[in-house]
Structure 1
Amino acid sequence: MDRGIKGGVLWTTLALLLVPNVSVEEICPRGCSCFSTGAAKCLGPAITDIPVGLPVLTNLLVMIQTEMHVINERSLANWDKLLRFSLTYSHLHSIHPKAFQVAPQLKSVKLSFNDLSTIPAGVFLPLSTLEQLHIDSNKLTIITPDMLEGLVGLQDLDLKSNKLSDLPSHIFNGLTNLTSLNLGRNYIKTLPPNIFNALVQLRNLSIYNNELESLESGMFDSLVNLVELKIHHNSISSFPPKVFWSLTNLERLTLSSNRLESIPEESFYHMPKLIQLTLYKNPLLSLSDQLMGFMPEMMDFYLYATNLTTVPGNLFANMSGLVALNLHHNDHLKDLPSDLFCCLPNLYKLSLRNNKLEKLLPHIFSNLTSLSILLLQENNLKDLPRDIFHGLSSLSQIDLRNNALKTISGDSLSLSSNATKVGLSGNPWNCTCNIRGLVKWIKQNEHLVLDREDVKCDSPVYQHRHTLWSLDEDVHFKFCDTIMTESYKTTENNLFETVALLTTPTTRVEQTETTSRAQDTTPQETTITATTATTTTTTSVITSSSTVTPSKAPSAHYNSDSFRGKLVLEQGPEYVHHNVLNGWVYVWFLPSDTVLTGFLMSLHILLVATAFFLILATLYGMHRLTEKMERLNAEYECLLEGQKTAY
């Protein structure tokens, strides 16, 4: 007996599993789709009321873009199994006060995107088990407590995108089981301080896109279970210091797009579970050192489009779990404290783009061991410390585009093996000797520099618009290691001077005095070595002295015979000219590029030939003009002779 029952149950279960979950159009009214799961969907302007002929077991009815403008007293009658009813995008404008008395079993009612301007008092009173009510995107101008009367089991209430401007303080007092409340996209200017007192179970509260000007003290004190609070896109200019302190379970807080110029001290204390905080698009002028409490779970922080010029060094010190930091688009942010990123071992993305940063301190990123994406584009960075990226073993993407960089060390860009992208274009690169390391790095990592065709020289003039990757070591940097020497003898009565001669624009002068100055009168032998280095100018004025500064040395000495001693200059890529003026030796360099020189010489010859041709043309024109004048004079004389003969 038992075995037979078990076998029957097994076969019945198997048969049910084999029944396909398909549309049952043959028993569904026109304009609707019915499904074996109990769901039905009706669509189109031909539908003016709930269609007759729907399966009696329908538990979910969705009606979209219909011509059902009124829910009358009997619309929902005879649907005992119906649990979820949705009528949207149908220009619904009226609900009969007794419309839901015939369907007290409903769990969900959605009347979104209609034309409701009012709701009858007590219309939802029979729906004591209703869990979800959406009346968003209508034309409601007022909500009173009796409109929501009887909804003791309601958990989700959506009133967004209406025309609400004022809410009574006890409007939500009967909704003690509410977990989600959306008041966004209305015209609310103020909220009573005790309006949320009854909502002890609330987890999600949205008041975004309203006209709130301030937050009242204590208004969130009862929301101890709140997880998400959205109050962005308002006009909030101030709030009490401890207004968020009771929200110890809060995980997401959005305060962006308001009018905050400052934030009270300790505003974000006692929020250990906070995961996301947004403060962007506020005209913030400064932030307090005592602003952020213990936030080890924080993962996303947004602080952009403000008026901040700097930020406190400890701003992120309590956010050890931070993964993404968006500190960009701050038009006045010029300076970052050295310890700002001290305590972010899990940071994956750091965005500092579109600020006004002019420099970065050497070890500012040294503790970001997990950093993978670093965005520094659109700043005013003029230089980068040599080791600024060292130790960032996870760094795979770095963007340095559109800054004021003239050169950086190739060693600075030694990235990890999983590097994918480096942006370098839009900088005024100075393609003298100092750029050699970067050029070499680009050639070795062409696959990383995706914008390499736009990474171009800005100076010197003869390199302008050349791409860095096209510069050749043997051609463009062949004289960078040239060493020149100058030796001469001098006596005790003469000053010891050194004139540094350069083979590239600006060099570092290393002086080595082989024999120190003695107090006797014997001549001293001195050897000076000038070694080229990689810096960036096109004209140099160099004078140095080992004992007396040039400004104090008499100018007559530079015209002395000892100064005009033997001068040895190794052949280099520049023509050198120098002048002596007021005790200073001015050394001028004219680049001698072979192609450029040939072009200039050809241009000179062309100009001379053109001038010669113009002179010949002028002489020929004068000759022809003289002949013409002589012919005219002869004709004139003949005319005069003819007139005399006639008389």
Structure 2
Amino acid sequence: MYPLFLVILLVPAACGIGCPPGCECNDDTFVVQCVHGRLDVIPITLNPAIQRLVLKSNRIRSVDSALQFYRDLRYIDLSSNHLVSIPSGNFLYQERLQELHLYNNTLSSINTTTFQGLKSLTVLNLRKNYLDELPKRLFSTLTKIEELDLGENSISRIDPLAFDGLRNLRVLYLDDNNLSMVPTPTFSVIGSLAELHVGHNGFTILPDDSFKGLSKLTVLDIRSAGLSNISLNAFRGLTMLRSLNLADNRLQQIPTAQLQHLVRLEELTIGQNEFTVLEKGAFKGLSNLVKIDITSAINLERIEKGAFSDNLNLETIILVSNKRLESLEDGVLVGLPNLRRLVLRENSFKTLSESVTSWNELKALELTDNPINCDCQLLWLLKSISSRNLTNVQCSTPLQLRDRSLRTLTADDLGCSFRDPRQQAIIITFCVSATILLGLLCLFLFRYRLKVREALKDYKWNKRAISRKEHEYQKTFSDEDYITRTGQHYIKPIPVTEL
């Protein structure tokens, strides 16, 4: 039996006239939304058949017994209120509830009876509260829970059996807490976990077998954890891992040997660390890698040829905001037949060589916000932009082209002497051929120099002999002798016939 005053209050709700001011109540979809209102308590005058209740950004301080009147609820959102506590037993009648969102409140403690009755709950969001400890079997009544968000709290201690009973848990957020080490002992009871987010804590080292028991893990996020050292076998056992985020830590070099345990890794995010070079074979063993993101690596200066030689399945390479990275070595990205997207924004590139990679299969190139010098070396890129619409590049230098888009320029603007690439190819071929022929000639002369020298001597001697004979011949048959000789002979006149 309910108290008489509650029965009286329920009468208008049954008549469909109990929607509080500032709320939207839809009796067709059974959805009630009271967002950014001034509610101090959960209203009890709503349609008892509602299934979705959104009370975000109000002034509600407690989850009280009002929820017992809405037994068909599937979804409750009490985010951004002033909740301080949740008395035991207030969810006893919410057997159909699937999602409960308590984000951004002031809850400082919960216990094993807090969520009694939530037999169908699959999502529980407790992010951004003031929880500091997770005691033993805290969530044991939530046997169907699949996603648990405990991020942005003050958790510093987790009992090894805190998650005991969560056999269906797939996604766990423990990021942005006060953990000083990875809570490895707790993982043995949640072997079905697929996603783990433990970044923004106070780790400095990942010891061997840090994630023991999580053989089904596919996503691991350890960003901003203060990591400076990763033990050789830290990732041992994570044979199913597909995505790893190590961004914003203090790694001095790429943990090549440690990553080799992750044979199925497809996505790696490793920017905002302190390494200066990507060495040859930096990602050795990661043959299934599809995407790599190196953003804001403030000390990165060089990428060696062969850094990605083991990663033939790479489709996306992101190199963004690496301010000390001024160039890419010729051929550094050659040999990646599946590369489709290359993002090179906000670095310090002044030019980009056509021989950096094979451009035939590339579908997207981003080169914006670099100090690009627009000269004839970028003629190939201009033609690629025009034909394939790859990227929008703005010139920084020379002065007369500053802030102009490369796609609007011509070969003359870039200072190119020859516009037609075929003409350039012919000239280059001619020069190369001439150089080769000249080299062969020099080699021939050097090898047969003695014979050539003798031939030249013979030629000069013969020439001198011929000259002497000609001189003597000329003396023998001088003009005077010729006239004398011809005068001694009678010349018969030629008769002329008159017509």
TM-score strictly above 0.5: yes
In the alignment, which residue of structure 1 is the partner of 2:306?
314
Distance 1:351 1:104 in 2: 49
Q: How far is 1:368 from its partner? A: 3.8
**Contact 2:364–2:390, Cα closer than 8 Å, also in 1:** no
In the alignment, which residue of structure 1 is the partner of 2:258?
267
In the alignment, which residue of structure 2 is the partner of 1:49?
41
* Closer/same/farther in 2, CA of residues 202 and 25 from structure 1, 3 Å limit: farther
Q: How far is 1:158 from its partner? A: 0.8
Count residues with an aligned counterpart.
406
Match of 2:259, SS state, is coil
**Contact 1:166–1:190, Cα closer than 8 Å, also in 2:** no
Distance 2:308 2:364 in 1: 18
* Closer/same/farther in 2, CA of residues 150 and 331 from structure 1, 3 Å limit: same
In the alignment, which residue of structure 1 is the partner of 2:493?
none
Match of 1:118, SS state, is coil
**Contact 2:138–2:162, Cα closer than 8 Å, also in 1:** no
In the alignment, which residue of structure 2 is the partner of 1:191?
182
Instruction: Select 2:56's aligned residue among 44, 64, 69.
Output: 64
Q: How far is 1:81 from its partner? A: 1.9
Q: Which amino acid aligns with 1:96?
A: P
Distance 1:62 1:376 in 2: 44
In the alignment, which residue of structure 2 is the partner of 1:249?
240
Q: How far is 1:280 from its partner? A: 0.6
Mapping of residues 224-623 of structure 1, within 5 Å: 224-287=215-278, 289=281, 291-296=283-288, 298-302=290-294, 304-333=296-325, 336=328, 338-352=330-344, 355=347, 363-365=355-357, 367-374=358-365, 401-403=371-373, 407-408=376-377, 410=379, 413-415=382-384, 417-419=387-389, 423=393, 425-428=395-398, 449-450=406-407, 452=409, 468=413
Match of 1:267, SS state, is helix
Answer yes or no: is 1:124 the counterpart of 2:124: no
Q: Which amino acid aligns with 2:406?
A: V
Match of 1:123, SS state, is coil
Deviations 1:461-518 (A, max 9, x none): xxxxxx9379999xxxxxxxxxxxxxxxxxxxxxxxxxxxxxxxxxxxx9xxxxx998
Match of 1:301, SS state, is strand
Q: Which amino acid aligns with 1:65?
A: S
Distance 1:165 1:245 in 2: 25
**Contact 1:167–1:191, Cα closer than 8 Å, also in 2:** no
Answer yes or no: is 1:140 the counterpart of 2:109: no
Answer yes or no: is 1:88 the counterpart of 2:79: yes
Q: How far is 1:162 from its partner? A: 1.6
Q: Which amino acid aligns with 2:387?
A: S
Question: Which stretch of the first structure deviates more once superposed, 46-55 or 201-210?
Answer: 46-55
Question: Which stretch of the first structure deviates more once superposed, 285-294 or 144-153?
Answer: 285-294
Instruction: Select 2:19's aligned residue among 29, 45, 52.
Output: 29
Distance 1:131 1:335 in 2: 50
Gaps spanning 5+ residues in structure 1: where? 1-23, 380-400, 432-438, 440-446, 456-466, 474-509, 511-515, 521-647
Q: How far is 1:256 from its partner? A: 0.6
Answer yes or no: is 1:173 the counterpart of 2:164: yes
**Contact 2:270–2:294, Cα closer than 8 Å, also in 1:** yes
Distance 2:366 2:39 in 1: 55
Q: How far is 1:357 from its partner? A: 6.4
Distance 2:306 2:80 in 1: 51
* Closer/same/farther in 2, CA of residues 349 and 69 from structure 1, 3 Å limit: same
**Contact 2:44–2:69, Cα closer than 8 Å, also in 1:** no
Q: How far is 1:78 from its partner? A: 3.3
Distance 1:269 1:244 in 2: 9
* Closer/same/farther in 2, CA of residues 26 and 152 from structure 1, 3 Å limit: closer
Match of 1:327, SS state, is strand
Distance 1:135 1:411 in 2: 54
Distance 2:378 2:41 in 1: 75
Distance 1:265 1:347 in 2: 21
Q: How far is 1:43 from its partner? A: 4.2
* Closer/same/farther in 2, CA of residues 362 and 89 from structure 1, 3 Å limit: closer
**Contact 1:346–1:368, Cα closer than 8 Å, also in 2:** no
**Contact 1:84–1:109, Cα closer than 8 Å, also in 2:** yes
Distance 1:452 1:360 in 2: 17
Q: How far is 1:180 from its partner? A: 0.8
**Contact 2:230–2:258, Cα closer than 8 Å, also in 1:** no
* Closer/same/farther in 2, CA of residues 192 and 216 from structure 1, 3 Å limit: farther
Distance 1:409 1:232 in 2: 37
Answer yes or no: is 1:209 the counterpart of 2:209: no
Q: How far is 1:411 from its partner? A: 6.4
* Closer/same/farther in 2, CA of residues 214 and 173 from structure 1, 3 Å limit: farther
The alignment's TM-score, normalised by the length of structure 1, stands at 0.55
* Closer/same/farther in 2, CA of residues 57 and 277 from structure 1, 3 Å limit: same
Q: Which amino acid aligns with 1:295?
A: S
Q: How far is 1:222 from its partner? A: 2.0
Deviations 1:25-68 (A, max 9, x none): 94442233322222222346553333223222222222123332
Deviations 1:187-236 (A, max 9, x none): 32222332222222111211222222222321223222222211112211
Distance 1:335 1:51 in 2: 63
Distance 1:362 1:219 in 2: 44
* Closer/same/farther in 2, CA of residues 113 and 413 from structure 1, 3 Å limit: closer
Q: Which amino acid aligns with 2:372?
A: N
**Contact 1:82–1:106, Cα closer than 8 Å, also in 2:** yes
The alignment's TM-score, normalised by the length of structure 2, stands at 0.70
Distance 2:308 2:415 in 1: 43
Q: Which amino acid aligns with 2:41?
A: D
Q: How far is 1:354 from its partner? A: 5.3
Could you say what the CA RMSD is over the residues aligned between the two structures, in angstroms?
Answer: 3.9
Distance 1:232 1:411 in 2: 39
Q: Which amino acid aligns with 1:118?
A: S
Q: How far is 1:128 from its partner? A: 3.6
Distance 1:423 1:28 in 2: 59
Match of 1:426, SS state, is strand
* Closer/same/farther in 2, CA of residues 402 and 359 from structure 1, 3 Å limit: closer
* Closer/same/farther in 2, CA of residues 451 and 162 from structure 1, 3 Å limit: farther
Deviations 1:106-141 (A, max 9, x none): 332221121111224422243343221111121222
**Contact 2:100–2:125, Cα closer than 8 Å, also in 1:** yes
* Closer/same/farther in 2, CA of residues 29 and 363 from structure 1, 3 Å limit: closer
* Closer/same/farther in 2, CA of residues 263 and 37 from structure 1, 3 Å limit: same
Distance 2:73 2:382 in 1: 65
In the alignment, which residue of structure 2 is the partner of 1:164?
155
Q: How far is 1:336 from its partner? A: 4.8
Q: How far is 1:315 from its partner? A: 2.7
Gaps spanning 5+ residues in structure 2: where? 1-13, 419-437, 439-451, 461-499
Match of 1:94, SS state, is coil
Identity of aligned residues (%): 25
* Closer/same/farther in 2, CA of residues 243 and 139 from structure 1, 3 Å limit: same
Distance 1:281 1:372 in 2: 27
* Closer/same/farther in 2, CA of residues 270 and 30 from structure 1, 3 Å limit: same
The structure in which a higher percent of residues are helix is 2
